[in-house]
Amino acid sequence: MMISILLVFYLFLFFFAVMGAMRGWAKELLVIFSVIFGLALINVMETLVPVLSPFINSNPNIQFWLRIGSIVVIAFFGYQSPKIARLSKGSERRDKIQDILLGFILGAVSGYMIIGSMWYFVDAIGYTPFLKYVMPGPNDLTVATERMIKLLPPLWLGSTPNIYIAVVLIAVLIIVVFV
């Protein structure tokens, strides 16, 4: 039995959104930042490090597992964030509801960044190792699936000028919000 990859993607987004509602917006913001740093790390390793670039770019399987591993490891450490008492502490009930709602939204965004990046990397190798388990979608969902693939984070964020601009903006936001 096969399931549409688009449905799996939306299920993961909901899962990450619920997790974000439980964790709070500040911690989810750090996860989003860590995924962007992960995409920047991948870009640097594949394009700017002369020792690694030929090795990584010569073998699609090595490139795939390096990309997936980088996102998973950096996202894992993003989720191991310290307690942010000053930002996530809500003294009023309204603040708690706002924290949950904003955490839900930012959790969905972090899920989009993590799962969307992984989906893009799987799509880049043609779904080869995963064809047995997940199909790109049945005929009626193929158009929606292809449309979603064009919106995945590495496509619009992973390119050379965009990722560096995002890293600089993240550094500024970290200084302004968290320091």
pTM, two decimal places? 0.85
What percent of the chain stands above pLDDT 90? Answer: 47
**Helices 142-149 & 93-124, crossing angle to 10 degrees?**
100
Alpha carbon 164 to its chain centroid, in Å, reads 16
pLDDT (tens digit, 9 = 90+) per residue, 164-174? Answer: 999 999 999 88
How far is CA 36 from each of CA 31, 42, 82, 159, rounded to the nearest angstrom? 9, 10, 19, 12
- Note the maximum CA span of the chain: 56
- For the chain, what's the residue count? 179
Residue 88 confidence class, pLDDT cut points 50, 70, 90: very low
pLDDT (tens digit, 9 = 90+) per residue, 46-67? Answer: 988 888 888 888 988 899 999 9
